[in-house]
Amino acid sequence: MRRGMQREMLRDKACIVGVGETPFCRKPGSGLSEMGIQLRAALAAIEDAGLKPADIDGIMPFPNVGKAEAFAAELGCTSLRFAATLHMGGAAPVASLRAAAMAVATGVADHVLVPGGWNGFSGARVRETAANDVNSIPGGGIARDFYLPFGLTAPPQWYALMARRHMHEFGTTEKQLGAVAIAMRRHAQLNPAALMHGKPLTMEQYLASPMISSPYRLFDCSLETDGAAAFVVTSAERARDLRRDPVFIMGAAASQPYPADEICGRPDFHRIGLTTAAPEAFRMAGVGPADVDFAQIYDCFTFEVIQQLEEAGFCARGEGGAFVEDGGIELGGRLPVNTHGGLLSQAHVLGIAHVVEAVRQLRGQAEARQVAGAEIGVVTGWGDFGDGSIAILRR
């Protein structure tokens, strides 16, 4: 069989049929356990699909926040047939979306639940992971032996090294980083569930915000949040019988930078997981970046949006800064990005809310922030030292 045909085998074979979220909060915290908050999102997604918890026979938990066994026991999933966790940090949910599509398309499972969430504000902070548990940070022993002794300990610092080099090579500016933060914040004004709803942001405020790890200021950083989200994947055939209009997975892929476990020595310093994954996903989908009506881009920090837009092929490498300026990624612009406000202005719940928002857009349920006539949308994930995942979805 030709390799190209294999790539297309998954096209439109699986659908997202249910999505769910909890409220997002910071102070005083969710008041729930991390399993408890994830279960609430899971139940909402299962209900949205018109399924019963016992119908779930596949579960793909996010790394380090819960095990499939525990989800199955809590939900009463007595016939679990497929369980896996993909260790790709924030790239895991969309990579799991691809794996779930593979599972339901091949009959390995019928209904796969992908939950994720945390007490990211009131519980352990991800920014302090290196101090709490060095073995759970990306790179493991490499970070312990070659990064931490020099004070490189946390995500904004790792990624700032990439952003600084990009600024040097391509002339990307601080104001272009600010344009990403402002676009996400504008979208949040249209989303009552967003943490930054009612709190607009100007360029002056952005530039005046305190530096965290240059070039990243406070407003370049996402919102550590208590909250959870979940989605349910089933086969296209099964989806026809369910409550909601299905959202089809046209193409999906996940990959890693090289080397994935070490940032500094990469032969191509700007290559990330998406560099490999995006062309594969678009080939599978049979469409290109120009056919896309919106993109939900994993926005842990502002520069990562610029870099992913470039590496996903929405613009050439080095042109991402100009792409995001002048409202280019705002509603009404050339490519609306993170219409819910993203991790930067809605909430950081591990990237699953990006999938939820993509589904809402394609169902026409995005209310004041609806992209008119949206038919095809992209959602990405970014994790660890640049792991990447991408799905191309259609209504």
Partner 1 sequence: MNMDAASADRGKPLPALEGLAGEFYRWGAQGELRFQRCSGCGRYRHVPRELCAHCGSPKWVWEGSSGRGKVFSWTVVERPLHPAFAGDAPYAPVIVELDEGVRMLSRVLDCAPDELSIGMAVEVAFSRVTDELYLPCFRRSEV
Query: Closest CB to partner 1 among 156 and 342?
Result: 156
Specify the pairing of strand 294-296 against strand 376-383.
Answer: parallel
The residue assigned the tokens 């073995």 is 135
Secondary structure element (H or E) that encloses residue 88, with its range: none
**Shortest reach from residue 140's CB to partner 1, in Å:** 11
**Shortest reach from residue 221's CB to partner 1, in Å:** 10
Sites of contact with partner 1 (CB under 8 A): 127-128, 130-131, 134, 141-142, 144-154, 156-157, 160-162, 164-165, 168, 210-216, 259, 262, 264-265, 269
Sheet containing strand 14-21, edge to edge, reads 82-83, 58-59, 111-119, 226-235, 14-21, 247-255, 387-394, 376-383, 294-296
Distance CA 138, CA 125 (A): 15
Query: Closest CB to partner 1 among 141 and 288?
Result: 141
**Shortest reach from residue 128's CB to partner 1, in Å:** 6
Query: Closest CB to partner 1 among 213 and 234?
Result: 213
Specify the pairing of strand 294-296 against strand 216-217.
Answer: unpaired
**Shortest reach from residue 380's CB to partner 1, in Å:** 23
- Tally the C-alpha atoms within 13 A of residue 369's C-alpha that lie toward its C-beta: 28
**Shortest reach from residue 28's CB to partner 1, in Å:** 23
Secondary structure element (H or E) that encloses residue 22, with its range: none
Query: Closest CB to partner 1 among 66 and 215?
Result: 215
Query: Closest CB to partner 1 among 165 and 240?
Result: 165
3-state helix, strand, coil in the chain (%, to 5): 40, 20, 40
Query: Closest CB to partner 1 among 155 and 251?
Result: 155
Distance CA 342, CA 190 (A): 12
Nearest partner of 341 among 131, 149, 177, 201, judged by Cα: 201
Query: Closest CB to partner 1 among 172 and 338?
Result: 172
Distance CA 302, CA 221 (A): 7
**Shortest reach from residue 29's CB to partner 1, in Å:** 20
**Shortest reach from residue 158's CB to partner 1, in Å:** 9
